[in-house]
Structures are given as structure tokens and as C-alpha cells.
Amino acid sequence: MRMAQVVLENVTKVYENKVVAVKNANLVVEDKEFVVLLGPSGCGKTTTLRMIAGLEEITDGKIYIDGKVVNDVEPKDRDIAMVFQNYALYPHMTVYENMAFGLKLRKYPKDEIDRRVREAAKILGIENLLDRKPRQLSGGQRQRVAVGRAIVRNPKVFLFDEPLSNLDAKLRVQMRSELKKLHHRLQATIIYVTHDQVEAMTMADKIVVMKDGEIQQIGTPHEIYNSPANVFVAGFIGSPPMNFVNARVVRGEGGLWIQASGFKVKVPKEFEDKLANYIDKEIIFGIRPEDIYDKLFALAPSPENTITGVVDVVEPLGSETILHVKVGDDLIVASVNPRTQAKEEQKIDLVLDMTRMHAFDKETEKAII
């Protein structure tokens, strides 16, 4: 059995121009895990991937593959295959030759190369394209060839750098599920870079959220969505993004309340302890659009969870309707039942599922709840 655990220990990358691309990264990618590095442009995802591949020197720290430090191991000796955003296919070679190339370099016997290329082509459904040149392929087909070139090598670890970003939206959705199936089939360790939160949420066993070269949070998609560690992660995951409202924690009838400029809602009992140090202080209150309901369709409306505002914009999407609602000084976005009667410029009552509330420290922006 081939094991492939990848560990980053205090890894830092400073480029010659003094740009600190990655700061003290610590990460364990378990054998057979599908880990997605997620973050906005320039946050250091690609640099991290390239350091694992050995294409970029590490300024500080250690990278282990299978328990061995690989800092000084050549890329070709790391038993890793990388799939690039632009596929990097050789234009003058056929699909077959492109897939066979890496094995030829490594002096594999011809029949072994043939067996591997045909098997990979079968897995990817590109057997009928083996004689074509890259320019005779669609974007999705090129993408499959690029993956095929990695598969034939049967590497310990696959690294993917935004492999779907050049595909149109429909093909991206299709390739997403294909890559996921492929992961199950190959039982491989995959480290995958993207700035697309949907790709991350749908494919990853574990998501690593990065910002400005620093890891913000590591967790399952469920953890990252439900328990974001800070304001950045909370706002980066979810669409439309979480609402953030400057508010104050106050004592009131029956316990603690969140007081904002235009509404007051009650904190569920189970969260009161966490807010004990914040009474009469300012916090950032967070609630996701999908946790806000049009009162007409809400299960348990009450004065403790209902807020009133004026509808600014109505965006019907078919399966849901997005409302932008002015409540005091804040603009609250809610994703509500598409049968809503909400009309622009009219009043609306919204019900907040307070069991799904978030709260963040105003100074550190770290999660309290």
C-alpha cells in the first residue's frame, strides 16, 4: 500500500523582492485526503503548492512527505504529479504522446507505458482522442488529458492548481464531480488550489482558508461554513455572504440581547456564557442570508427574533429570492422563500434563526460564537 501524508511545519516563503508569500504555515494532509487550499488572489495558495512540488525553494520550515523531510529533494524525485491551470500540454505531441512523455523520460518499458496510458485514458473517457493534438480538443478534453498525464505516473500525491478555472460554468460543474469520483477511484492524496468556494465546499475533505500568506482556518466544509474562525472566513464562504452588523450585547428581558441600530434580538440561552465578557460592549453580529426568513414563511416567529425593515431590492432567482432590506443603518441581505410577497420600498418583517447566529470580537475579528 502506498502511503502519502504531506506535512508542512512552520513553512515560510519570502521571495527575493521581500514579498512574504507564505507565513509560518502548519498543515497536515492525511493519506488519501482531498485537501483544498482556498483564498483570494495573492494569498499564497500557488506558492504553497509549488513548495510542496519542489518548484519553489522554502525560506524557512520543513515539508515532509511520508515522514521524510523533502526540502532538498528534487521535484522529479518527490513522487508528486502536478496539474496546472493552463494544462501545459505539448502542442506538437498527440494526446497519447503527451500522456506517455513523463514515463518515457523515466525510461519505463514501452508496453508498460502503453498499458498505463490506455488505462488512464479509459478512466477519463478519452480513449478515442489519443491520436489528436491538443489544439483539436475542447477545453474540458484538454483538462482530462492534463489529469491523465498525472494519473499515468501513479504518484503518491496529486497537486492541482486551479485546474477548472479556464472552463465554462457548466463544464466546471461536470468536471468537479468527475474529479471527486476520480479521487475515490484512485484513492490518492490530492492537494487542490482554488479561489472558488463552491469548488472547495463540494470537493474537499478538508479546506485550508488562506489570506495574505497566513492560514486562517483548517476544517471540513461543514466546520468552515458553520463555525468560521473569524470575520474573514465567515465572509469568504457562503453566497450571498454573511451579514455583519455592528451591535452591542445588552441585558434585557429574560437574558441577553443583541442591540443594533435598527433592531433588537434575543440571544439563545446556549450562547449566553460565551457572551458574558461582552455585556455592554460592541461586537460584530453575524447572520447568514439563508438563516433569515420572510415572516410569512417562518416556523417560529416571535418578538425575540423578528426585525422590521424596508425592502431595497428584490432579486428573484427561482429557487429562492434574495432581499436587500434596510434595517436602521444596516442593509440586511436575506435569502427567502420565492413565494415572498416582498415589494421594493415596502415594509417587511424578517425572522432570524438565532440558533444560527455568529458573533465576532470587534478588535480581533475572531469568532466568539
Site of interaction with ligand ATP (CB under 6 A)? 15, 17, 19, 21, 39, 41-47, 195
366 DSSP assignment: B
Cell matching residue 279: 455585556
33 or 161: whose CB is closer to ligand ATP?
161
Distances (CA, A) of 95 to 22, 106, 130, 149, 257: 36, 18, 5, 9, 63
Cβ-count burial 98-125 (b if 16+ within 10 Å, e if not): bbbbbbeeeebeeeebeebbeebbebbe
Q: Between 39 and 228, whose beta carbon lies closer to ligand ATP?
A: 39
Please state the closest distance from residue 17 (CB atom) to ligand ATP, in A.
5
Instruction: Considering the complex, state which of residue 182 and residue 210 has its C-beta at the smaller distance from ligand ATP.
Output: 210
Please report how close the Cβ of residue 215 comes to ligand ATP at its closest, in angstroms. Answer: 12
- Three-state DSSP at 202 gives helix
Question: Closer to ligand ATP at the Cβ: 195 or 358?
Answer: 195
Rounded to whole angstroms, the Cα distance separating 116 from 341 reads: 59
Instruction: Give yes or no for a contact between 126 and 141, defined as CB atoms under 8 angstroms apart.
Output: yes
With residue 151 as reference, give the H or E element that holds it. helix 139-151
CB of 47 to ligand ATP, least distance (A): 3
| Smallest distance from ligand ATP to CB 117, Å | 30
CB-based contact 135:90 (threshold 8 Å): no
Closer CB to ligand ATP, residue 46 or residue 340?
A: 46
Taking the complex as a whole, how short is the minimal distance between the CB of residue 172 and ligand ATP, in angstroms? 16
Cis peptide before 289 (omega within 30 of 0): no
State the Cα angle at 21 between 15 and 27, rounded to 5°. 125
Nearer Cβ to ligand ATP (31/212): 212
Taking Cα atoms as reference points, which of 232, 326, 328, 322 lies closest to residue 286?
232
- CA distances, 344 to each of 243, 309, 341, 348, 349 (Å): 20, 11, 10, 10, 13
Nearer residue to ligand ATP within complex by CB, 47 or 340: 47
**Least distance between ligand ATP and beta carbon 42 (Å):** 4
Q: Quick one: 17 or 341, whose CB is closer to ligand ATP?
A: 17
For the CB of residue 165, give the shortest distance to ligand ATP in the complex, in Å: 9
CB 175 → ligand ATP: shortest distance, Å?
18
Least Cα distance to 38 among 241, 294, 229, 209 occurs for 209
Q: Select 17 or 319, whichever has its Cβ closest to ligand ATP.
A: 17
Report the nearest approach of ligand ATP to the CB of residue 28 (Å): 20
Q: Are 225 and 289 in contact (CB under 8 A)?
A: no
Instruction: Kindly write down the DSSP assignment for every residue of 63-106, as one continuous string.
Output: EEETTEE-TTS-GGGS-EEEE-TT----TTS-HHHHHHHHHHHT
